[in-house]
Structure 1
């Protein structure tokens, strides 16, 4: 398999979230996919198998496990595909459901991709899970932002949304990785979406990902989509609206994620970003 290396949600290879992209993984078994992802070491690698109807089957593997959906690897895959076969609309068949992705060329000549998530929804987080989560993060209840109530949000994968009361609290990430990994694995949580609200349309996020063997994700498109659905469902924002998410700055890999939240709870959330190839073919 030829593994391409892209960084998503950035125009520079020094920023964004690196992803592996295999545009044709036909015939590869699960063990080979996991081994390839582990060898590469990025938070996710996307493996594509073309379907006869023009759609693409796609699977996502972290170094330790398969995940049902990954936003940044989807953006990276769409840009890689468009660079080789032209821009347009792709239908990706993920384990979470069908995800359409549209690519276009900007005035500056770069390719931008927009995915539309599966229908998002959120559920309450139990008092016990919240208490254990805060303890693993080494946060106290006073560190929480009342305007962003804790909840577990979904748009292809599950992400607890935890609002930080201050930017300084978000910047100070020092968590118990084994304990958090155990809690997340038990609850089938993909990443923890730690969020600080700069304004109603601008947010700063950090995403620990210990179940995948990753301390922190520099840009998390799946969590961004889940967060957009969370804001709409809890009526914390008036849809339709677009928001901006800044991620990766505290770890030296600045990323920019654009999220469009349409009316109607049944409608998927749009996540837009760029991607740049980190290494030539």
Structure 2
């Protein structure tokens, strides 16, 4: 039986932008190997599989071309948009391996569907010094490259991400890394999400590069889980006040400009808002 795969791009800032995701709505009877094979054929950063419908939403699983991941933000938003287009807007809950994710789909003034996705309870922790030494060497960073007041931490809002804020914009735009070596460090460290590298461009604005070596992919154009983890990180280090909305721009380094809106409450899950559109 042929599996129907929908293709959407999420968080696009302009035509041709955003992060592409595959969506399979009828994956109830698919095996792990079959889902991984579909994700490899689609060759997007992640494909979301609806493996069950529930009273208040659905149960989702996510596969990159390399392996299953616990949570994927942009594929969650894309799935929520698809269900809203087919079944109507409103609130749903998606059960994932990382926990329950609340999504609220509304209709924007231009008629498009916008989704506010609220993460699981976030957390932050210090990065292991030996891991940071290896990561900084892979990125070519030295003492003084990290922005003052932004300690390097690991942050969680569905996946663990190391978060690094760089002071120098030229370094942020120009650094290089070895994908295979970074992928090995990610596996060893339990970083199932991206390595999140940021540069502050305004009081509540950041540009992000999210490193995600998986198959032919090396850098993610728009990362919902990393945006939520960034919100949790900024709250933990006192860089934003409760109720702030942070704008994260991402993707221009890979030719897919994206924008993610991140609302940071005083406590609890972080909300990331954006839309998704079909890929022709």
TM-score, normalising length from structure 2? Answer: 0.96
Equivalent residue runs for 1:1-281 within 5 Å = 1-10=3-12, 12-189=14-191, 190-211=193-214, 214-264=217-267, 267-279=268-280
Shift of 1:238: 0.9
SS at match of 1:141: coil
Separation in structure 1 between the aligned mates of residue 15 and residue 50 of structure 2, nearest angstrom: 23
- Greater shift, 99-108 or 229-238, is seen at 229-238
Are the aligned partners of 2:13 and 2:257 in contact in 1 as well (CA < 8 Å)?
Answer: no
Runs of at least 4 residues off by over 4 Å: none
Separation in structure 2 between the aligned mates of residue 141 and residue 73 of structure 1, nearest angstrom: 36
Runs (5+) with no aligned partner, structure 1? none
Separation in structure 1 between the aligned mates of residue 259 and residue 208 of structure 2, nearest angstrom: 10
Separation in structure 2 between the aligned mates of residue 43 and residue 187 of structure 1, nearest angstrom: 20
SS at match of 1:168: helix
- Greater shift, 45-54 or 158-167, is seen at 45-54
TM-score, normalising length from structure 1? Answer: 0.95
Q: How many residues align?
A: 277
Shift of 1:11: 5.8
CA RMSD of the aligned region, Å?
Answer: 1.3
Shift of 1:144: 1.5
Runs (5+) with no aligned partner, structure 2? none
SS at match of 1:103: strand
